[in-house]
C-alpha cells in the first residue's frame, strides 16, 4: 500500500482536529475561491467530514471585480463537485464603487454571503482556508498600523459571532506551500488569483517583499514566529477578558439612555485592564470599537480629572458625573 503524501496527511490531520469540535453529522460550509488553500481545505473537509457523517457544502462568491470571474466561480464549483462535496453553491456580490475600497468591500460581502448561506443551510460552522502565511502577513500589517495587541493577535482558529455563526480556520498552522503540494498530489488544478500579484495591495507587498527580506536577513522561521506571537497574544487576551468579565459585573450599572462605570473601580485597576474595560463597555453597549486615542481620553476622566466636559465618541458620549463615568447614546 503506497504511503500517504505528507502534504495530504498534514492537511487532513489539521482538518480532522478542527472538525472534532463539531457534533457528528454536522453540516459545514467551506469558503471556496478555487485557489490552492481553499481547494485543499475543501478536499480534506470532504474526506474527513464524510468519515464522520457530515454534510459538506462549498460556497464560491463571485465578487465581479475581474473579467471572467463568473467562469472562475463556475470552475471552482466544478472542482468542488469533483472532490465530492454534497452541494457546490455559488453566489454573486456587487462591490463596485464601494466607499471603503474594493478589497475591504469584497471581504465584507464575502463574509456576509458565507454567514447568510451558513444560516439558511443550518450549518454548524463555516470553514475558511487561511494559512500560517496569511497569519504572519496579518500580524505584520497590524504591527505596521500600530493598532495594538488586538490586531497583533491575528486570526483565531475558532470564533463564534453574536449571531451564532461559528468560523473555523483549520489551516492556520499549515504553510501555503503545503496546500499547493496537496493540490499537486491530488491532481487538483488550483486557480491563481491575479490580485495576489498586484503590488497596490499592502498584503501583496508584505508577501512579496517584506517577509522574504525578513527571512533573508534574520534567518528562516519568521512566519512561524509571527504566528506563535499571535497565538500567545490571543491567550493573554483571553485571560484578560475573563478577568474583565468577572470585574465588570460589580462596577457597571445601567443609566438613563446608557451605562455607567465606577470611577473608583476603574482607578483601582492597572491601565491595561482599565482601558480594556472602557473598550468593552462601549463595544457591548453601543456596538462601537474605540481607538486607543479615544480610550485614553475617556481614561483621563478617571486618572486626570480637572473638570473637563463630555467626550464625543462614535455612537455615544462619555462624561464624569460624581463618582461614575456615564456613557450616553447619541
pLDDT for the residue numbered 106: 81
Q: Does 211 share its domain with 67?
A: yes
Q: What is the Cα–Cα distance from 227 to 211, expressed in whole angstroms?
A: 13
pTM exceeds 0.95, yes or no:
no
72 within domain boundaries? yes
Start-end of H helices in 128-221? 132-145, 149-152, 176-185, 202-205, 211-218
- Look at the block and give the residue holding cell 527580506: 213
For residues 135 and 65, state if they share a domain.
Answer: yes
Instruction: Give the CA radius of gyration of the chain.
Output: 23
Q: Which of 208, 224, 240 is the last residue of a domain?
A: 224
Q: Are residues 186 and 108 in the same domain?
A: yes
Q: What would the pLDDT profile of 221-263 be if each residue is shown by its tens digit?
A: 999 999 998 898 888 878 877 877 777 878 898 887 889 999 9
Residues 268 and 126 in one domain: no
Does residue 203 share a domain with residue 152? yes
Residues 36 and 155 both lie in one domain:
yes
Per-residue pLDDT of the chain (330 residues; tens, 9 = 90+): 678 999 999 999 999 999 999 998 999 999 999 999 999 999 999 999 999 999 999 999 988 777 788 898 899 999 999 999 999 999 988 876 655 666 778 888 899 999 999 999 999 999 999 999 999 999 988 888 766 666 678 899 999 998 999 999 999 999 999 999 999 999 999 988 777 777 878 888 999 899 999 988 888 899 999 999 889 888 887 887 787 777 787 889 888 788 999 999 999 989 988 998 999 899 888 988 898 899 999 999 999 999 999 999 999 999 999 999 999 998
Q: Write the CATH number for 175.
A: 3.40.50.620
What pLDDT sits at residue 142? 85
The predicted pLDDT at position 152 comes to 75
| pLDDT score for 82 | 96
Grid coordinates representing 285 are 453597549
Separation CA 299–CA 319 (nearest Å): 11
**pLDDT attached to residue 150:** 67
pLDDT digits (tens, 9 = 90+) for 267-301: 998 998 899 899 989 988 898 889 889 999 999 99
Do 47 and 180 lie in a common domain?
Answer: yes
Beta bridge partners of 9: none
The region that residue 270 occupies, defined by phi over 0 for left and psi between -120 and 50 for alpha, beta otherwise, is beta
Any domain includes 236: no
pLDDT reported for residue 22: 97
Q: Are 165 and 118 in contact (CB under 8 A)?
A: yes
Note down the domain range covering 100.
Answer: 6-224
> How far apart are alpha carbons 172 and 220 in whole angstroms?
18
**What are the helix and strand counts (H, E) for the chain?**
13, 11
Are 207 and 133 within 8 A, CB to CB?
Answer: yes
Residues sharing a CB contact under 8 Å with residue 261, sequence separation 6 or more, in sequence order: 251, 252, 277, 278, 281, 324, 325, 327
Number of compact structural domains in the chain: 2
In a domain, 177, yes or no: yes
> Phi and psi for 317 in degrees, rounded to 5?
-130, 155
CATH number of the domain where residue 325 is located: 3.30.465.60
Residues 208 and 107 in one domain: yes
Amino acid at each position: 500500500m503506497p504511503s500517504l503524501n505528507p502534504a495530504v496527511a498534514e492537511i487532513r490531520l489539521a482538518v480532522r482536529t478542527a472538525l472534532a469540535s463539531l457534533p457528528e453529522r454536522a453540516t459545514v460550509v467551506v469558503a471556496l475561491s478555487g485557489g490552492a488553500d481553499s481547494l485543499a481545505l475543501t478536499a480534506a473537509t470532504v474526506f474527513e467530514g464524510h468519515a464522520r457523517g457530515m454534510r459538506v457544502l462549498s460556497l464560491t462568491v463571485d465578487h465581479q471585480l475581474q473579467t471572467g470571474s463568473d467562469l472562475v466561480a463556475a470552475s471552482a464549483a466544478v472542482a468542488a463537485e469533483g472532490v465530492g462535496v454534497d452541494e457546490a453553491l455559488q453566489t454573486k456580490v456587487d462591490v463596485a464603487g464601494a466607499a471603503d475600497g474594493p478589497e475591504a468591500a469584497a471581504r465584507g460581502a464575502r463574509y456576509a454571503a458565507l454567514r447568510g448561506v451558513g444560516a439558511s443551510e443550518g450549518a454548524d460552522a463555516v470553514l475558511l482556508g487561511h494559512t500560517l502565511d496569511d497569519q504572519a502577513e496579518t500580524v505584520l500589517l497590524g504591527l505596521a498600523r500600530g493598532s495594538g495587541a488586538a490586531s497583533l493577535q491575528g486570526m483565531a482558529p475558532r470564533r463564534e459571532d453574536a449571531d451564532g455563526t461559528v468560523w473555523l480556520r483549520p489551516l492556520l498552522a499549515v504553510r501555503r506551500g503545503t496546500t499547493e503540494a496537496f493540490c499537486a498530489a491530488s491532481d487538483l488544478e488550483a486557480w491563481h488569483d491575479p490580485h495576489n500579484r498586484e503590488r497596490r495591495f499592502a498584503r501583496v507587498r508584505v508577501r512579496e517583499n517584506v517577509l522574504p527580506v525578513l527571512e533573508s536577513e534574520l534567518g528562516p522561521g519568521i512566519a512561524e514566529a509571527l504566528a506563535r506571537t499571535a497565538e500567545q497574544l490571543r491567550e493573554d487576551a483571553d485571560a484578560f477578558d475573563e478577568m474583565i468579565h468577572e470585574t465588570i459585573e460589580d462596577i457597571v450599572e445601567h443609566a438613563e439612555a446608557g451605562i455607567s462605570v465606577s470611577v473608583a473601580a476603574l482607578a483601582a485597576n492597572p491601565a491595561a485592564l482599565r482601558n480594556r474595560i472602557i473598550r468593552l463597555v462601549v463595544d457591548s453597549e453601543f456596538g462601537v470599537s474605540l481607538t486607543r486615542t479615544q480610550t485614553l481620553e475617556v481614561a483621563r476622566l478617571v486618572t486626570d480629572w480637572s473638570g473637563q466636559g463630555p467626550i464625543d465618541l462614535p455612537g455615544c458620549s462619555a462624561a464624569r458625573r460624581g463618582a461614575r463615568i456615564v456613557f450616553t447614546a447619541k
